[in-house]
Amino acid sequence: MNLFNRAVLVLLCLALATAAIAVIVLAWTAPAESIDRLRDAADWLDDHNQDLEKSILTAAAAAVALVALVVVAMEVLPRPTGHVQVTDLQAGNAVLSTAAIGQRVEEAVNRVSHVSDVRASVKAKRKGVLVDLDLHVDPEANLASVTDEACNAAREVLTERVHVALLRPPRARLHYRELRLRGRALTPARSQAPPPPPAPAHPAPPRYVPSPEAGVTGPGDGSAEAPAAVSEGVASSEKPPLVAEAPSTAPQPGREETTTGT
């Protein structure tokens, strides 16, 4: 019970005690005057039997009833205390915090294969605890086997090591965080087109180099006719191919052709 609940209960008890004592005193010491006062109050209510007066009276009574119901609900409904009663004790009593229980459960579940990370949520109730597991598993894991192994590890810690009552089997929520990250990382690489091949390098145009034999001195002295002059010089410098001449059968002048007969 917190300070607010205690203050409200004290005020209500004091008000009820004061009203009860006043009724007892007035009934024995001044019964006639009390009856007259009550009659005057009844007459005042009869004279002010209007909507405005009844609305004010209704609001005041509703406020008192609401405060009383809130206090009762806060006292009756169970509240999470953050501590759990340890069972199977014979020599005394012991309590354990939910944070310590969650840490032990996480350490046990982290040893399960294909479990990359785990977060345990432990809620304390009157007769035990409720455990929820957030399991981050590998992409190649078998979900059924990993979930069973993780829940069995959590139950074993609670019942055999910590000795805390488990109200229901542990509930697991599975996450494939690593698989999503890999898929996002590979998607841009697959959609990207291969780079185009490099363009072939164009050969540089031939440069004209004046030849001393051509007689060309520069652009100012007939450079436009330089290529033709060079080509003619090259053509003239080339020797014609040698052709073997056949012996001539024509008669040589000054000689007579002799014919011998048989």
Phi/psi at 236 (nearest 5 deg)?
A: -70, -30
Q: All domains of the chain, ordered by start, with CATH?
A: 3-76 (no CATH), 84-180 (3.30.70.1350)
Residue range 172-191: mean pLDDT, rounded: 57
Mean pLDDT, range 24-52, rounded to an integer:
84
CA gap 213, 233 in Å, rounded: 7
Q: Which two tokens stand for residue 130?
A: 């409720």
| Gap between the Cα atoms of 196 and 74, Å rounded | 74
pLDDT at position 236 is: 46
Q: Residue 188: which pLDDT band, with cuts at 50, 70 and 90?
A: very low
Mean local confidence (pLDDT), 150-159: 92
Q: Once rounded to an integer, what is the mean pLDDT over residues 91-112?
A: 90
φ, ψ dihedrals at 176, nearest 5° = -115, 60
Q: How far apart are CA 121 and CA 55, in angstroms?
A: 49
Question: Given the DSSP bridges, would you call strands 129-137 and 115-124 parallel, antiparallel or unpaired?
Answer: antiparallel
Q: What is the dihedral of CA 102, 107, 113, 115, to 10 degrees?
A: 50
Task: Report the alpha-carbon distance of residue 130 to residue 158 in Å, rounded.
Answer: 11
Whether the per-residue pLDDT at 4 is higher than 90: the answer is no
Higher pLDDT, 262 or 222: 222
Helix (H, G, I), strand (E, B) or coil at 246: coil
Residue range 51-57: mean pLDDT, rounded? 85
pLDDT of 212 above 60: no
Confidence of residue 199 (pLDDT cuts 50, 70, 90): low
Q: What is the pTM of this model?
A: 0.44
| C-alpha dihedral, 45 to 49 to 50 to 54, nearest 10° | 60
pLDDT of residue 227: 46
How many degrees, rounded to 5, is the angle at CA 100 between CA 95 and CA 106?
A: 140
| Helix axes of 3-29 and 51-76: crossing angle, nearest 10 degrees | 130
Tell me what pLDDT residue 83 has. 83
Token duo for residue 1: 């019970």
Furthest-apart CA atoms within the chain: distance in Å: 205
H helix or E strand, kind and range, residue 182 = helix 177-191
Name 230's Cβ contacts closer than 8 Å, sequence gap at least 6: 210, 211, 214, 216
CA dihedral of 226, 232, 235, 238, whole degrees rounded to 10? -90
Find how far residue 36's CA is from the centre of its chain.
76
Give the pLDDT score at 127.
83
Q: What is the pLDDT of residues 105-138, one digit of tens each?
A: 999 999 999 898 999 999 888 788 999 999 999 8
What pLDDT shows up at residue 231? Answer: 45
